[in-house]
Amino acid sequence: MKTKNIFSIALAASLTIVCIPQAKTIDKKAILQRLSLTDKAHFVIGTGMAGMNGNNAVIGATKSLVPGAAGTTYPLDSLGIPSIVLADGPAGLRIDAHRAGDTATYYCTHFPIGTLLASTWNQQLVEEVGKAIGNEAKEYGTDVLLAPAVNIHRNPLNGRNFEYYSEDPLVAGKTAAAYIRGVQSNGVGTSIKHFAFNNQETNRMNTDARISQRAIREIYLKPFEIAIKEANPWTVMSSYNKINGTYTSESKDLLTTILRDEWGYKGTVMTDWFGGKDGATQVWAGNDMLQPGKAEQFTSIVESVKNGKLEKGDLDRNITRILNLIEKTPRYQGYHYSNKPDLKAHAAVTRQSATEGMVLLKNNGALPLRTKASNTQIALYGCTSYDFIAGGTGSGNVNHAYIVSLLEGLKNAGYRVDSQLQKAYTQYISDCKAAEKAHMEEAMKKDKQTAMLAMFLPSPRPIEMNITPEQLNKQAKTAQIAIITLGRISGEFLDRKQADFNLTKEENQLISNVCKAYHKVGKKVIVLLNVGGAIETASWKAMPDAILCAWQAGQEGGNSVADVISGKTSPSGKLTMTWPINFADAYSSKNFPIDKMPDLNMTNQGKAGNNEKNVDYTNYEEDIYVGYRYFDSFNKQVSYPFGYGLSYTQFYYSNAKVNNNGDIITVTVNVKNIGKTTGKEVVELYEAAPNSKKFNKPTKELKAFAKTKALKPGETEVVTLTVKTSDLASFNEAASAWKIDAGIYQLLIGNSSRDIRATLSTSVKAQETSVHNVLAPQEPLNLLHR
């Protein structure tokens, strides 16, 4: 009987294998043999971008396969090779919600911004979000999602920090890997971006990032290396900027020597849209596909092959890689997409994921709200309470069906809101938007091109409405609690202003006056931060009773906030970047384009600049001392440290142990919920190298992290963290090698970079691994040293 069962199982398995349809394949050699030089040059260039003409001429026109998608590849219809569709973006698929002559809608789910997802420190959760985003991409006919974006938070004012994950390469890399795994589990591709050093928006098409080889390796390439090795994205997107004098899309050192020869990457590389200068050089460097395509790129490739400056083999190599990509796509495999993803189910995913990334910065007993929702009247202050921000602008935006504001989220949870205050704010916001619209229309009459480009930029937030002390005193008598929401928005093309980091005088006055009025009658005030990145908090954080950083939580943001402040969910997010006391405290502020005007000409690559510091070039003089590596190593006070975040409960760490087998270091620690509320805890493992000051190393660096399950009061979980010994290496420029200094390494277990709960030590042997000597600065940099 046992033999029969085994045979039956084997037979069923063999029949299952036989019945699986075979994937379609492409005979790449045969395709190459049938292509002319003209065909080949066309094939490595995209089909154009809608709305670009004149000086921005492109080859062909964007195919309307998926209206609103960023681009398509060039088809070879006679050879059975279709165009595949490439679409933004990190917080959800970005396509047009409406189509000409079609009554159906094509809305996509707006998920939380990248910074919020990273703040969950939960790779499994991020992977689930990725699965939902990838499903929408597939069902709407998209083949490659242009995400995730993993560039480092070098400075708080970078306009695209909201898309990025962290100031720390490990957090960024692990988060990106989880996102990629989730999206690609659907059989659609991702494009990890922007490879690399895209840390400012000002003059992003031309600026030269001047960085030491050590910082290049340890900080700026490390998140890409982690994500590429762990998750194998189908494509990599090169960035706009130069690295030490060479456009990244034209750098063979970057795109071939490091990416392929050292990391073993086998996928496809594409440019960012209109990135780089010379098409032939991009092909030679290993940039396989040039998007969205320009006439001069085509000419450059054809002429360079004819005159021998570009090898035919380089062009054929890139074509083969593009064919490898197309071969895997749903479109080539004949997938019948539905145009009907389960948006309701995905709304639930975004709502739950957003709660886990919100960071409780302060709580003096104000949260969670203690009284029954129906018995609680809340006074909502701040324009953003009624005009909630789902995410940033540009390619990171999503055409969503709705946004749940804080007002709506509270009402959905059963809370009552001061109706008179609501009416006043609603009218004020409406008047502000009408005035802004009129201003834009007037600007269009005077300078249509500039005004149209300005439409791509974030709209200015309304100045906070003035509320008199008499009005506040009256409101404080009837409401049980006050919530003030502060909002910040940013996006492509433009870095944030220094004033955007600080509070306005109207915001400061609002916080001060509301706190005075409510505290006078024994009631509490909560400040909610609907922001995409760090803002100044040190000067005012003592006034309110609680501060919750809700980030930009996607379309279900108001519901997600209500879930947290009601106590339905205990906050468990942690900061993935340091919040400085003052903007100037960030060392990179010495070398960042503060309050510079944006360069809105999207296709001015290669034009001579004025050699203006921090615009035409930026010296990364902070070197490896980015974020907490700087603040902690140089003992600088901060408003909130890296890895910080409160909970509605407390956790106790005990029984920490370390095991080192030579290749892998394993740390275990018991984490017990000693509070009265169910909650999750993030455990962070830092290492401190021996003689760190002597060898100019940070005082500590994050090497592993883990998040517990939801622990009930009294429950304990044994958390295991593993570190490869090789990950303890620093980059030695003189030897062009990753080097581990022998000695005793401290392993610091904490729940922020400045709250260490246990310290262990382990002995590590010396190691050295040589790599290629590439990407050196053209001139010496004045680097920061300990």
Q: Which residues are known catalytic residues?
A: 272
Closest CA to 339 of 108, 72, 101, 180: 108
**Look-up of token digits 């805890």:** 681
How would DSSP label each residue in 119-176? Answer: HTT-HHHHHHHHHHHHHHHHHTT-SEE---B-----STT-TTGGGS--SSHHHHHHHH
Is the separation of the CB atoms in 675 and 688 below 8 Å? no
Could you tell me if 510 and 484 are in contact, meaning their C-beta atoms sit under 8 angstroms apart?
yes
Residue 540: strand, helix, or coil: coil
Q: State how far the Cα of 685 lies from the Cα of 704, in Å rounded to an integer.
A: 5
The CA distance from 150 to 157, in Å, is 16
8 A C-beta contact, residue 364 and residue 545: yes
Which residues have a Cβ under 8 Å from the Cβ of 21 and sit 6 or more positions away? none
Of the candidates 4, 415, 336, which has an alpha carbon nearest to the alpha carbon of residue 138? 336
Rounded to 5 degrees, what are φ and ψ at 374? -65, -20
What does the block give as tokens for 99? 């189509």
Tell me the Ramachandran region of residue 670: left when phi exceeds 0, alpha when psi lies from -120 to 50, beta otherwise: beta
Q: Indicate the DSSP class of residue 504.
A: P
Tokens encoding 88: 């933004």
Beginning with the edge strand found earlier in the chain, give each strand of the sheet holding 144-145 in spatial order. 71-72, 85-87, 144-145, 189-195, 235-238, 268-271
Residue 504 tokens, joined: 């306005």
Please tell me the distance from the alpha carbon of residue 746 to that of residue 690, in angstroms, as a whole number.
8
Residue 754 CB partners (closer than 8 Å, separation 6+) = 632, 638, 641, 644
Distance in angstroms (rounded) separating the CA atoms of residues 504 and 247? 38
- Reported for 696-702, long-range contacts at CB under 8 A and 24+ positions apart, including other chains, are 696/785, 696/786, 697/730, 697/786, 698/624, 698/625, 698/629, 698/632, 698/633, 699/632, 699/633, 700/628, 700/632, 700/748, 700/753, 701/629, 702/168, 702/170, 702/171, 702/642, 702/643, 702/753
Give dist(CA 491, CA 455) in Å, integer. 12
Determine the Cα–Cα distance for residues 727 and 745; give it in Å rounded to an integer. Answer: 12
- CA-to-CA distance for 746 and 689, rounded, in angstroms? 7
The per-residue DSSP string of 676-742 comes to: SS-B--EEEEEEE-TTTTTTT--S-EEEEEEE---BPTT-EEEEEEEEEGGGG-EEETTTTEEEE--
Cβ(769)–Cβ(729) below 8 Å: yes
Say how far apart CA 534 and CA 719 lie, in whole Å.
30
Close Cβ partners of 42 (under 8 Å, ≥ 6 residues apart): 59, 74, 298
The C-alpha atoms of residue 375 and residue 760 are separated, in whole angstroms, by 50
Short-list 630, 526, 539, 531, CA closest to 575? 531
Token pair belonging to 771: 């790599």
DSSP collapsed to 3 states, 7-58: HHHHHHHHHHHHHCCCCCCCCHHHHHHHCCHHHHHHHCECCCCCCCCHHHCC
The answer to whether residues 737 and 689 touch, using CB atoms and an 8 Å cutoff, is: no
**Side-chain half-sphere exposure of 467, counting CA atoms within 13 A:** 31
